[in-house]
Each structure stands twice: as C-alpha cells, then as structure tokens.
Amino acid sequence: MNPAVNRTEIEATTSLREAIARVFSISPGERACLLPNEAMTGELAEAYNKLSREARQGTYQNLAADFLARTNYQEKGRRPRILDAGCGSGLLSLELAQRTNTLIIGVDASQDMIKLANKNRREMNLDANVFFFPENLYSLSELTGGEPHFDYVVCRNVLHRLKDPQEAIRQMRNSLNPNGKIYIRDLRRDADWPTIVRRIGEQRWQHPELVRDYIGAMAQMLTLPELEQMLGSLHIIKYKLTNGEYAKPEMQSSALKEYQKDVEYVCVINES
C-alpha cells in the first residue's frame, strides 16, 4: 500500500528532488522513471477522470482550440484523421469531435481508461466520428499496419509517463501521412518548483493518489534540451517549440489552474 502524501510537507519543499525524496524515499539527480505503470489503471484512472470531468472542462476546450490553431488544422479534400496518442478517458478527443468533421482515433495503454473513454462518449452521444482502442504507443505500427495513416497526432501529458518517450515519438511520426503534423504538449521537469506545487490545486489534493502520481510523473518529465536531443536523434528538424501559453485561449475557465505558460511546453512537428 502506498504511504500517505503529506500536504504540509510537500508544500514546504523547495525542489522536485526534495519532494521525490519525501514521497518515494529516493533522490534522483536526473530524469527517473518512478511510476510502476506507464498507464493509469483502477482507482487512479477513476480519480483522474472524475477530476477531469469536474474541474477541467475549460482546459479541454482551450486545448482543442490550441491544437487546431497551432497545427493550422484544415478539412480540405478527403476527411482527415486525427490520432489522440495516450487519450486517457477521451475528453480531449471528444472535445475535438464536437469541433471538427473528422475521424478521431484515441488509443491508450490502459484498458480502464479506454472503458472510461467509451463511457464518456456514450454519455456525450458522440458515436459518429470518434473511436477508442487499447493500444500501446510503442506498437502504433500494429494499429496502422506499418503504413502512414493519420494526418494529425495530438499527444498531451503523455510523454512524461513513458519509459521510452523517444520511441513513442518515432512511432507517432511513422504513423503520419505526408504533410502530417504532431502536436505534443507536456510539462517541463525544470519548471519553477513553487509554481509546480501551486499547480497541484485544491481539487487534486482531494485525491491524494493523484498527488503521489503527479510527483512521480514530474520526475519523468523532459526538460526542453532533453526533448530537443530526442528530436535530433530521430532526425526531426521541422518543429516549433514554445511555452505552453494558449495560441487562441477561449473564454471558458478551468476550476483547476494549470499555469500553462510557466510549466508547459508545446512542440509542433511538421512532416511537410
């Protein structure tokens, strides 16, 4: 059984390394994979979906608008295809389904998350153009038959859960049609620590298992130099890397403040 996460102790920490030591009793100096599973399952998946549905409606609306703006999304000619790589409980996919006339495929390694995604889809009555499948990002080639298949890939807050994010990026790139684009949004391990702690928020503290997961995930985040090194290793040169400020923020607000500009990055890879 995981030990309890002490809020007072965590809020008093001055660095990620100190918080990791408090929660996991180790003190890594670099990126460390501390999460036992890459995918959220069981009660953790349920808690994440509950938090997202109750406190992140505005977040998903802003994310969808940001994705469409930054990728210069277009529906010309044939119906485009979007892959939501690591879709979780499907809320971003479902938001995109309401804004586009496209085919959206959401994949996640967690069977529990896929069940929640399908449940959310039924409740929102969006069966027409969005589908969810259990699939590991390391084996996307099995989903696509080893051939390019998607016009756009969106990957939000997923790389930090993976032991091998470089392989996941490679698989996403290989799944793209010519002129396809990948939209990656995630957190930076080297972001300002007091801001990262504030980002936990009251809603997340109501689910201590999410706080423990959050700190473990922070240990696995990439820094921007690490991400750029991975892209270089994959010979990806056409990309734009910026902070996480929304390109086209909408009026909707989120009950869970996430400090996108200060702690997140966006990387758009263009395969043209």
In this prediction, residue 1 carries a pLDDT of: 41
Is-contact 212 236, C-beta < 8 A?
Answer: no
For residue 68 the two structure tokens come to: 């469409």
Predicted local confidence at residue 79, as pLDDT: 84
Beta-bridge partner residues of 270: 181
What are the angstrom distances between the C-alpha of 160 and each of 53, 144, 185, 253?
A: 22, 24, 10, 25
pLDDT value for 251: 64
- 229-252 burial: b if 16+ Cβ within 10 Å, else e: ebbeeeebeebeeeebebeeeeee
| pLDDT tens string 10-23 | 999 999 999 999 99
Question: What is the pTM for the complete model shown?
Answer: 0.95
Percent of the chain with pLDDT over 70: 98
Q: Which residue has the higher pLDDT, 30 or 147?
A: 30
Q: Would you say residue 52 has pLDDT above 50? A: yes
Predicted confidence (pLDDT) at residue 235 exceeds the cutoff of 90: yes
Tokens of 111: 């069977």
Q: What is the pLDDT of residue 214?
A: 96
More confident residue, 159 or 129: 159
- Looking at domain 40-270, its CATH architecture is 3-Layer(aba) Sandwich (3.40)
Q: How far apart are CA 174 and CA 164, in angstroms?
A: 16
Q: Kindly list the domain boundaries of the chain, sorted by start residue.
A: 40-270
Comparing 42-46, 65-69, 142-146, 149-153, which segment has the lowest mean pLDDT?
142-146
**Between 267 and 247, residue with greater pLDDT:** 267
Q: Does residue 190 carry a pLDDT above 70?
A: yes
> Looking at the predicted structure, is the pLDDT value of residue 111 above 60?
yes
Q: What is the pLDDT of residue 143?
A: 85
